[in-house]
Each structure stands twice: as structure tokens, then as C-alpha cells.
Amino acid sequence: MLLNLGHDLVLIYCHVIVGTSILYYVLDILVKTVAVIKSNKDTRYALDSIVTHDGMKLPCWALANLSSFRQKIGPDTYDQLDVIGIDEAQFFEDLYDFCCEAADRDGKTVIVAGLDGNYLRRSFGSVLDIIPLADSVMKLTARCELCGKRAFFTLRKTDETQTELIGGADVYMPVCRQHYVNGQVVIEATRSVLESQKLQCGSYT
């Protein structure tokens, strides 16, 4: 899927956007031909599109890995690309190698959007690894859903503990530092209460 936006090429060889969807940036950049990739793990709205929470759509390639992109799109079509956008970049294990090859060898403008940290505030995937490759890095934040301050962190609202858990507002909320810390305290207290109830129930059987 290609987007032909009909403007002069802007030479940004590797641009990293942390913490936001790639869609708005791709629509604003002045380029000729764009292909957008996302992880096929992201099936929240549509497999063949990037969809924002407010309903904006952008066609994309949903792939398990980036190394298959050239073969999927075809070598000739790949050579015609000016820009490659990668959304949900934290899910691609081969992110570093692909960005090196596309930007350094093939001369593509690569726009990468993804999360730098998970709900535990630890590095998530390879997004931080490609920052040394980037010509520019932009870290964007949402607003805390509880107080309206800048939200640098993500609070998981469910009790699942796996690192990769795809979800929207039903699973995650953006929060400031204060409400992240307070939220973790509440979550841990709730878990302790539930565990104690299980132990008490078990003692009666």
C-alpha cells in the first residue's frame, strides 16, 4: 500500500517519534511516495490500517517482521519509495537492522513511532536502541486522564502481567508521575487483599 502525496522530498533519513501514532506525522510530511508498516500483533481496529482513537485511518502493511517487507512489497516498488513509516515499532525485533539498511544503504527516509517504555517503566522492544541512528528524536506525551498534567507514563488498569498486552483505553490510561505512583500503590494493595481472601477461603476447605 503506497501513499502518493505529491510534494517534494524532504530528506529526513531516520526520525524517531516516541509515544504516539505515526499517522499524523506521515500525513504532514512533504514526500512523494510512502509505505507504512505496523506489527500484525496490533489487531485492535483493522489489520490493514493504522487507526487512531478518533477514527483517522491510514493504509498499511501488517507484518510479523520488517525483514520480509522488501519481498512483500516487491523490489521494484521498494526502490520507488521515498519514505518508510513504522508504527508500533516496539514489537519488531529486527527494528535496528532494518532501519540501518533502509536509511544507510537504501537512502530511505525512515519514520519510526513506538513506545520507549512499558507499563512498568522499563525499556520496551528496540525503540531506544535506534535512537543513536536517528537524525532527530521527538518525544510526545498525552495528558493525564486524572488531572490533565503531561502524562509521561502508562498505567495498566487490568491485572495481567505479560509485557505485550494489546489494548486501548479499556486496558491502559496515560498518567502523570504522581498518579502513576499512586495507581501502582492501589494496584498492589488490591492484589494483597485478593490474595489474602484466597488464603482465607482455602483455610475453610
Catalytic residues: 88
Helix intervals (H) in the chain: 23-28, 69-73, 75-80, 95-99, 177-203
Do 57 and 8 lie in one domain? The reply is: yes
Q: What is the pLDDT of residue 1?
A: 44
Which has more pLDDT, 118 or 160?
A: 118
- Residue at a domain's end among 92, 115, 140: 140
The predicted-structure confidence for 16-75, as pLDDT tens digits, reads as follows: 777 656 655 665 555 568 899 999 987 777 778 887 666 777 889 999 999 999 999 999
pLDDT above 60 (res 137): yes
The predicted-structure confidence for 98-126, as pLDDT tens digits, reads as follows: 999 999 999 998 999 888 888 889 988 89
pLDDT band at 4 (very low <50, low <70, confident <90, very high): very low
Measured distance CA(171)–CA(46) in Å, rounded? 18
Q: What is the pLDDT of residue 7?
A: 32
**Residue 30, domain CATH:** 3.40.50.300
What is the extent of the structural domain holding 73? 1-140
